[in-house]
A and B are shown apart, each in its own frame.
Chain A
Amino acid sequence: MTRPALTDQHLRRKSAEYRRDVLRAIYHAGAGHTGGSLSCIDILNVLYNRVMNISPVNWRDPLRDRYVQSKGHSVEALYVVLADKGFYPFESLEKLCRGGSYFVGHPTRKIPGIEMNTGALGHGLPVSVGMAIAGKLDAASYRVFTLLGDGELAEGSNWEAAMCAAHYKLDNLTAIIDCNTLQITGATRDVCCNEPLDEKFTSFGWEVLCIDGHDVAELTTALSRPAASGKPTCIIARTVKGRGVSFMEGVVKWHHGVPSADEFAVAMAELEGALK
């Protein structure tokens, strides 16, 4: 059975639903990384609903596409998307960050749909390079996607992996940088400036695309490129930390801030409003 393709409008609505679900989960858990989860939602939405060949049905298939969330602190976004894809019921998220729960504050492979334990930064790109090398060795058709934070790029392991990916001509690998320009201490350019990111990745031998990370059409085009260039792809997705909640947008304190009851009500009203 072929499902009807989701329109851009459908996807935008899904993003709004995801943002609402993320905020709800974090509020009830009393913990979580709110700003970064909200900034990467559109990226995950397009990956899981339009680009990647991954579902609970083919989850153990060696030919499935792989997604590694290197910026593991935004796991709430991933949990919500995986629940929507049917990897587990939404109710599972009620256990988020509870004692003994598998739904830990960073990704673990104990959760169906999660490929790799991450959370310590600078780990996702090297393991994704390994997956892409394995794919090349097997002449397999799958693609590997990894989501990085822009602040995370200060970790040197990323650049070891970036060199390696180009050396092995891993055009089956796409790194997406959720470039929300903020990290826990402040603006990334003030903490340890890594600009110009596009030139850095280009000089490391990657194909680089700079796009609006909230535009589902741009994301679709960028993420759907055929893997035939002989180069890994880096998508620099410009995003807004805290996207969708006016008082969170671009505000550092929401990196892992949890809203009060009043703030939650205001935020939910905004997010519900986006659904109308």
Chain B
Amino acid sequence: MSAPAPSLHSAEAKARAERLGLRLGKANLDVFAEALTELATADRNVLAVTSDSRGSGKLKPFGEALPKQIVEVGIAEQNLVGVAAGIASCGKTVFAVSPACFLATRSLEQIKNDVCYSDLPVALVGISAGVSYGALGSTHHSLHDFAALRAIHNVTVLAPADNRETRSSIRWAATHDRPVYLRFGKAALYDLSDEPAPRDPRVASLLRDGDDVALIGAGETVIHCLLAADLLAEHGVESRVLSIPSVKPLDESALLAAGRECRVVLTAEEHSEHGGLGDAVARLLLGAGMTPVFRGVAIPDEDTYTGSQADIFGRYGLSMEGIADRALRALDAARVVL
């Protein structure tokens, strides 16, 4: 199997990442599989439940090493979540793994009722999320999972941005006694810091400080925010970059500080413009009486554009260049004199 494509798609972006000393790691999926194997090796009550997705979930070695700790339900996502809830109700730690595009809608009622309403500690793992399967068309884009899951009570929604945040999120989810949704893409990711990620993934990471513009990302858009900040510095713009691994609940103090201290707030997400990180942040800031110039970079509500993740990020301004351009125009709108 070929190695996953790295998450950066332009030579300029790659060169900038290298200049910043960022190290290319693995796909979050690989880190997930490793971390889960580690946890399950130490505790036989840790299980994976998959819907014909052990290959795409990188769980084949897990299944070979720990055959009694993987439950395969076939291509049956509703049953996947119900079975996971039933197993969890018997005291086991369950990770239910399925492509995000199916898990977050085809199984939505099971997530709502069997897991969240019943308050069972199932970790729902949406793999190949966002536009990881970009070329496969709308059926395989998951641009709705933040919106769908945010609207359900009693679930934490996590989108780790790099391998560090992923390890931390998996370990946290394994011990958290409530429902968790984790979203992973397919691309190999750069580690965004040399610091260890917070042990509690509900805490945002401040990756760069500044007070002209706050660039706020979740999951695979964060690297593009970080590189855009470096590009913006060449224009004299000081950017604050926040990684928000937890789309719900939000790290309110970090976000309110950004809203209070920065003239522009920009969110970037691999999700529909409706119901995701941008809506959550805007609601938080407005509710607190803050009115910074706000821009939500996301996938617009239009007929599906297909192509690689890079193609789609490029089209909708989720690349380093697109985010920097949007931030500069927003600063103009804010009549900031540079």
Contacts and interface: CB of A to CB of B under 8 A. Distances in A.
A130 B84 contact: yes
B119 interface: yes
A116 B79 contact: no
B114 A126 contact: yes
Contact of B86 (A129, A156, A157): A129
Contact of A164 (B79, B91, B119): B79
Contact of A120 (B68, B84, B90, B113): B113
Contacts of B79: 126, 129, 157, 160-161, 164
Contacts of B84: 130
Interface in B29-51: 47
A126 B118 contact: no
A131 interface: yes
Interface stretch (B70-78, B209-217, B257-265): B70-78
B109 A130 contact: no
B85 A160 contact: no
Contact of B92 (A125, A128, A134, A167): A134
A127 interface: yes
Contacts of A119: 113
A160 B86 contact: no
A225 interface: no
B110 interface: yes
A137 B40 CA distance: 14
Interface residues on B, range: 20 to 34
A126 B91 contact: no
B119 A128 contact: no
Given A115-B89, A127-B86, A134-B86, A156 B78 contact: yes
B232 to A, nearest CB: 48
23 contacts: A62-B91, A115-B89, A117-B113, A117-B114, A119-B113, A122-B78, A123-B109, A123-B113, A126-B82, A126-B86, A127-B82, A127-B89, A129-B82, A129-B83, A130-B85, A131-B87, A134-B90, A134-B92, A157-B110, A160-B73, A160-B74, A161-B79, A164-B79
Given A128-B86, A160-B79, 16 more contacts: A109-B119, A116-B85, A116-B89, A117-B114, A117-B118, A122-B78, A126-B79, A126-B83, A127-B86, A130-B84, A131-B86, A131-B90, A134-B89, A160-B76, A160-B78, A164-B73
Interface of B: 47, 68, 71, 73-74, 76, 78-79, 81-92, 109-110, 113-114, 117-119
